[in-house]
Amino acid sequence: MHHERIRRPGLAQRVVSADEAATLIRDGMTVGMSGFTRAGDCKAVPLALAERAARDPLKISLLTGASLGNDIDKILAEADVIARRMPFQADPTLRRKINAGEVMFVDQHLSETVEQLRGRQLPPVDIAVVEATAITEQGGIVPTTSVGNSASFAILAEKIIVEINLKMPTALEGLHDIYIPTYRPHRLPIPLIAPEQRIGVPYIPVDPEKIAAIVITDKADSPSNVLPPDAETRAIAGHLDDFLRNEVRHGRLPLSLQPLQAGIGTIANSVLHGLIDSQFSNLKMYSEVLQDSTIELIDAGKLSFASASSITLSAPLYERVLADIERYKQHLILRPQEISNHPEVIRRLGLITINTALECDIYGNVNSTHVGGTHMMNGIGGSGDFARNAHLSVFVTKSIAKNGDISSIVPFVAHVDHTEHDVDLIVTEQGLADLRGLAPRERAKLIIERCVHPIYRDAMRDYFRDACKRGGQTPHILEEAIAWHTRYRDTGTMRSVTASSAAA
């Protein structure tokens, strides 16, 4: 049974039901599961665990690559299974529990989790639960649509449960490149010098004796939920395209640009989508997640290669890619997120990184995570890995939200994920602020004039003018700056009486 999927002799005998496999997970354990931005998550064992918890309550620390699909975080959260969660999530139910203080959420740079596990700075992973396309003759685990943290989880864990997903074409084998940094104190340079380079092996090398159970599944990944481009996201793409063309014209970038990274989500996806009609060619990506736009750029002949840790597509593109995977494999590599997001490689390659800001301030500090400064949305994800080490760190956002009741650009962000040092460009549908080499007061003028929505521009100019009277490298009137956030909380809009009448 499943000879081409379980090729290691003897391992087929470890095939069990999901319920039976889930019994290996016990109360208090740290569990490392596959899954990165809805791709390659385990489809059966988490559900069996939630069902069991209804009869026999238990709590675990759940580590993954990033967010899960198939409502797994929701189901586990509702079953009260998750005591602790890291390094990323994106589920509304789990989010509520996190913000209520019921689940301890450790929001981490995505490149760092396995580094901390390896250095024993986090409690050890007791068991890894990993979705696979196949198990090789040597017992190597071939991942599916994401690598995430699965490789290190499997290597470091005492036991491994493998979910073989029959929905995943066997031709996925060869897509992955698994490289694990050598251990300190004798760590060597990561030899990667180009996105298309292979430096590892196409499977996760583990001792097959650790594979304690194998479960057969047959369920697709959740499709991505990004929205199509709209007028604002097209305007953002247009501003960035103008900027990049100007960089090329001045000889600061080649026509193939430098490798691109784009964060998950609608705006970053739309910006990449906009490159289809650009003059650039022979583009490459070195990113953490590949979205629809990547496939469309490959099909348009614009993008020659894309490296990432996962592929998260809409249902039609998912079909298209899986059906023609042999061809797409020539343009794609999936790597551990430690490598896709590694500071060493990002800085070496000189990436152009495009990430989404939840809000940013007039000096260029960015909040990627905390609504109102307090409530977690999803997590910082890889945005810090990329923005800090980028050649060109771009943050995009629409200038307003909630029909104009929120200005995405505020005097002072209520939570900082990226400091002004790590932000080169801010782009809204209003325009683009090129902050490179500028002091904070210069940055503020540019952001206010180029990026702030007209309904907030006068109020922002007034704020900045008054703040400058108080002086400082980064002028502020803290109590007035914070009032923008408290006004929204108390009145439902950031607009003051004056500002709204001016807009009316």
Q: Which is nearer to a copy of itself, 161 or 354 (CB)?
A: 354
CB of 109 to a copy of itself, least distance (A): 6
Quote the DSSP letter at residue 214: E
Q: Nearest to residue 156, comparing CAs of 216, 206, 105, 215?
A: 206
167 in a known ligand binding site: no
Q: Which is nearer to a copy of itself, 472 or 492 (CB)?
A: 472
Calculate the alpha carbon distances from 187 to 158, 180, 183, 190, 395 in Å: 24, 10, 5, 9, 33
Please tell me the distance from the alpha carbon of residue 193 to that of residue 197, in angstroms, as a whole number.
7
Query: How many residues belong to the chain?
Result: 504
Please tell me the distance from the alpha carbon of residue 84 to that of residue 496, in angstroms, as a whole number.
40
Q: Which residues pair with 370 in a beta bridge?
A: 376
Q: Nearest to residue 172, comparing CAs of 307, 303, 43, 324?
A: 324
301 in a known ligand binding site: no
Q: Which is nearer to a copy of itself, 28 or 228 (CB)?
A: 28
51 is catalytic: no
CB of 316 to a copy of itself, least distance (A): 34
Please tell me the distance from the alpha carbon of residue 455 to that of residue 144, in angstroms, as a whole number.
47
CB of 317 to a copy of itself, least distance (A): 29
Q: Which is nearer to a copy of itself, 19 or 247 (CB)?
A: 247
Instruction: Report, in this order, helix, strand and coil percent for the chain, each rounded to 5.
Output: 35, 20, 45
Q: Nearest to residue 20, comparing CAs of 242, 214, 195?
A: 214
CB 129 within 8 Å of CB 106: no
Please tell me the distance from the alpha carbon of residue 102 to that of residue 96, in angstroms, as a whole number.
9
CB of 485 to a copy of itself, least distance (A): 6
Residue in the block written with tokens 């139910």? 93
CB of 20 to a copy of itself, least distance (A): 31
Q: Which residues pair with 433 in a beta bridge?
A: 426
Structural tokens at position 287: 């990113």
- Pairing type for strands 289-290 and 260-262 reads unpaired
Q: Which is nearer to a copy of itself, 212 or 483 (CB)?
A: 483
Structural tokens at position 496: 């003051």
CB 448 within 8 Å of CB 467: no
Q: Which is nearer to a copy of itself, 13 or 473 (CB)?
A: 473
CB of 291 to a copy of itself, least distance (A): 24
Q: Which is nearer to a copy of itself, 63 or 272 (CB)?
A: 63
Backbone angles phi, psi at 92, to 5 degrees: -60, -40
| Active-site residue (options: 288, 359, 420, 429) | 288
Calculate the alpha carbon distances from 438 to 121, 242, 389 in Å: 38, 20, 18
CB of 283 to a copy of itself, least distance (A): 13
Hey, how many other C-beta atoms are within 10 angstroms of the C-beta on 286?
Answer: 30
10 in a known ligand binding site: no
CB of 279 to a copy of itself, least distance (A): 19
Backbone angles phi, psi at 42, to 5 degrees: -80, 135
Q: Which is nearer to a copy of itself, 416 or 502 (CB)?
A: 416
Please tell me the distance from the alpha carbon of residue 25 to that of residue 288, in angstroms, as a whole number.
29
Strands (E), 281-422: 283-286, 289-290, 303-308, 310-311, 332-334, 352-356, 359-361, 366-367, 370-371, 375-376, 392-396, 400-401, 406-407, 409-410
Please tell me the distance from the alpha carbon of residue 168 to that of residue 340, in angstroms, as a whole number.
22
Binding site, residues?
Answer: 378, 382, 402
Binding site for CoA, residues?
Answer: 378, 382, 402
Q: Which residues are catalytic?
A: 288
